[in-house]
Structure 1
């Protein structure tokens, strides 16, 4: 079972099926994707622990039911996305229940190394590195989750090595979201111990060296210039260009068309049709999970979604003195979801969300037993 679990974690957390789909062949990528879900199903059938994570099951029922009843215009991938989602949240939960933070940490380190490898050995890909993750923002998210997990790793050498590698790889993605979350996480770490100030100092030094040698690394010249301005206390216009706020603004009026029930499945996830009579003409997705949920399934589904993740934050704060990593990971996920809209088929986000839910549930159970004197 352990080996099956490690293989599943590697396939999901390192985005292996999608990577081979894009870099090798469609048939190989599809084979790895089917293999991943078959392994998840097999693990569930062999597992003795089949506890359901009801909040995510209810969320899926609400979102997929409401969004398809409102509009069936964009249903090409509806069934596939829905089936895969429920395999993850129903059957995948059995595997997630057995995952240790060390397993997640080491596998994410492998993903991080793919970003560093790409920056050293592969040229001409646009100057923003992404490794197995294919997208710089997704790569940055994987790095920040690994960085947050490092705060709970007991092996000091592994912890320090991981923090350095996750930081370096994250910088190489040139993700504005990664940089912002990385700074905030390090500020939060001061609440754990004032000694963590050295991480901020080391991070600033690494960032400075990274920018200094940027011209030798085939980095994005535009982002390099923009990020260099941060060290001088300036926010360059290049960082403001094509900002997420501008993308969100395109969709505000469309939310008001039907704020209660939304506008239907995939209506906020990017348009592919160029027909003039199409309800929405904007081709880019909303790049915000919360706006995507209200835009496609309405206010009440968003309210339930907010309840799940606000509970993560509240419980994370309650657990902070004992296990600060729960709050750090929860906060990072929410920040990332402000810039990403593919929640229901983002399996890294789903697995990490289920893992956080299980950790909080275990903590509540232990607290309940302690209050009863057991």
Structure 2
């Protein structure tokens, strides 16, 4: 029974079922899916072993919600509801993360990314950017990048290559500039860790060429498609499109708001967009300081720098950990829905508990020796 509950909880979180149900089937289905997700997390927690709470994430949530809520809250009911959901993820989700293996997480993310391919082939539309269950192409690209990073931990070669192709194809179909840039960085770092990982890079470029060959069939986004095609044309000027409508321009719109109240911020959801048609800040770091001031901001930076630092010693033995840590640190620079993002919080917790596992150092030394011998 415990295993079944675990798998259902993983499905609900890693596939973004709550938000998908809301958009696909209406508010009633969305509310029911949300309630089910958090109830099953609570149920799983009560039948699981209780280990140490993740105090860094708890302190982050307490400071963010207390300070931003004290400054300004538009809807108290919504605010309280979001607080409850955050702490359920942090407390109950931590036990789920501790009991979730690399293989399980990679499989569920692969099934989730498969929905992007289905979206592109069966439900192609005029927008030309696809996201499957995740609704937002940028959010979907994060799933693909994390899955791609996890692929390097799979021992079965055929399965590993299948995952690499699947996550790369799905990520390309999101047409996220973040994915394209970070996919290349992640691939290079993986090769540094083990030269045999170069095969992943070649498979990725092959996937890119395959997507370009099916451009008209899949009704891809023409502007971003031309940017991809320009990679293979040295005389093309379309590549400049990668820098158009950049995140830095979006960040600059909120500079005055952040500098006006850097100590306590401007209140809950103040930088999340919507007011006057203004889009959100698209940067979790700036969102945090802009809404709740420098204390939660410093805690947030501290948590992810800690994750990144602790993951580096695993580069040659558990390559997926530093790759995932890098993806998390950089992702926070392009999104602003952090505290209510179930899958992002869960992945953050999963990486956190895996980089601080006891006896990890001695295990890594053995694995590193084996890796070097194999090379």
User: If the TM-score is normalised by the length of the shorter chain, which range does it land in?
Assistant: over 0.9
Once the two structures are TM-superposed, the CA of residue 367 in structure 1 deviates from its matched residue by: 3.8
User: Among residues 320, 330, 335, which one is paired with 1:335 in the alignment?
Assistant: 330
Specify whether residues 218 and 87 from structure 1 end up closer, same or farther in structure 2 by C-alpha distance, changes over 3 A only. same
Specify whether residues 114 and 54 from structure 1 end up closer, same or farther in structure 2 by C-alpha distance, changes over 3 A only. same
**C-alpha contact (below 8 Å) 1:116/1:169 kept by paired residues:** yes
Q: How many residues align?
A: 362
Q: Distance in 2 between matches of 1:368 and 1:108?
A: 29
Alignment of 1:283-362 (within 5 A): 283-362=278-357
Q: Distance in 1 between matches of 2:273 and 2:196?
A: 45
Alignment of 1:167-316 (within 5 A): 167-232=168-233, 236-272=239-275, 274=276, 283-316=278-311
Specify whether residues 349 and 64 from structure 1 end up closer, same or farther in structure 2 by C-alpha distance, changes over 3 A only. same
Once the two structures are TM-superposed, the CA of residue 65 in structure 1 deviates from its matched residue by: 0.6
**C-alpha contact (below 8 Å) 2:65/2:83 kept by paired residues:** yes
For structure 2, list consecutive stretches of 5 or more residues without a partner in the other structure. 366-375
Q: Distance in 1 between matches of 2:22 and 2:231?
A: 37
Q: What is the TM-score with the length of structure 1 in the denominator?
A: 0.92
Q: Distance in 1 between matches of 2:282 and 2:364?
A: 43
Once the two structures are TM-superposed, the CA of residue 76 in structure 1 deviates from its matched residue by: 6.0
**C-alpha contact (below 8 Å) 1:136/1:173 kept by paired residues:** yes
Q: Distance in 2 between matches of 1:94 and 1:202?
A: 35
Structure 1 SS opposite 2:152: helix
For structure 1, list consecutive stretches of 5 or more residues without a partner in the other structure. 275-281
Match of 1:13 in 2: 14
Q: What is the TM-score with the length of structure 2 in the denominator?
A: 0.92
Q: Distance in 2 between matches of 1:313 and 1:126?
A: 36
Q: Does 1:51 align with 2:46?
A: no
**C-alpha contact (below 8 Å) 2:14/2:109 kept by paired residues:** yes
Q: Distance in 2 between matches of 1:199 and 1:316?
A: 21
**C-alpha contact (below 8 Å) 1:19/1:134 kept by paired residues:** yes
Alignment of 1:42-191 (within 5 A): 42-73=43-74, 75=76, 77-191=78-192
Once the two structures are TM-superposed, the CA of residue 73 in structure 1 deviates from its matched residue by: 4.2
**C-alpha contact (below 8 Å) 1:44/1:50 kept by paired residues:** no
Alignment RMSD (CA, Å): 1.9
**C-alpha contact (below 8 Å) 2:63/2:296 kept by paired residues:** yes
